[in-house]
Amino acid sequence: MPRSQFGQRLAGGSACPTATLTPGQSFVALDREIDKATFGPVWLEDPRIARVVADAILYGETGRQFYRLRAWVIMPNHVHLLLLPRAPLPAITRWLKGSTARQANLILGRIGVAFWQDESFDHRVRNDFELDRIVRYVEYNPVSAGLVSSPSVWRWSSARLAGESACPTTTHEI
């Protein structure tokens, strides 16, 4: 099965780069703007909501067995997951966004409005080098955004669970 990475963003504003970029460059440019949390809602800063999302991410692996987690991080306004899917990605995304949106909107006192943006980004990881690069990218996201000095300090991430990285990058199969 392919390893995949996908990000989820909250419903709200958009910051699309105007220059002509490759899809990968566009993703990184947009993600860097999102990391700054200068636009759109930052509901995931609320620990109650971040806990709902973190619990769902972990339950998706252990309870639903939809995937094997490799790395994850919850930022103030988006989420990154790196996983080995055991179910179709649309089913995983629909379940994760649907269950967390309902609970988050209850916490926020919102009814009948979107919590997550409709789209998500997924990418097939082709080799161990790319896998290692994406694990670092995901777990270092809070550091790159200037929110913490070390990945293990960020409360809502795989790196926090087991020191520097809960998802060590080795050449063995996940």
Where are the domains positioned within the chain? 3-161
**Using one digit for the tens of pLDDT, what is the confidence trace for 88-98?**
999 999 999 99
pLDDT, tens only, 6-65: 555 566 544 444 457 777 776 666 656 655 555 679 999 999 999 999 999 999 999 999
Three-class secondary structure assignment of the chain: CCEEEEEEEECCCCCCCCCCCCHHHHHHHHHHHHHCCCCCCCHHHCHHHHHHHHHHHHHHHHCCCCEEEEEEEECCCEEEEEEEECCCHHHHHHHHHHHHHHHHHHHHCCCCCCCEEEEEEEEEECCHHHHHHHHHHHHCHHHHCCCCCCHHHCCCEHHHHCCCCCCCCCCCCC
- Output the pLDDT for position 119: 81
At 155 the three-state DSSP class reads coil
Secondary structure class of 73 (helix, strand, coil): strand
User: Which of the two residues, 75 and 28, has the higher pLDDT score?
Assistant: 75
What pTM, to 2 d.p., does this model score? 0.75
Q: CA 158 to CA 57: how far, in whole Å?
A: 10
Fold of 3-161: Alpha-Beta Plaits (3.30.70)
CB 124 within 8 A of CB 4: yes
Each residue of 107-117: pLDDT tens digit? 999 998 999 99
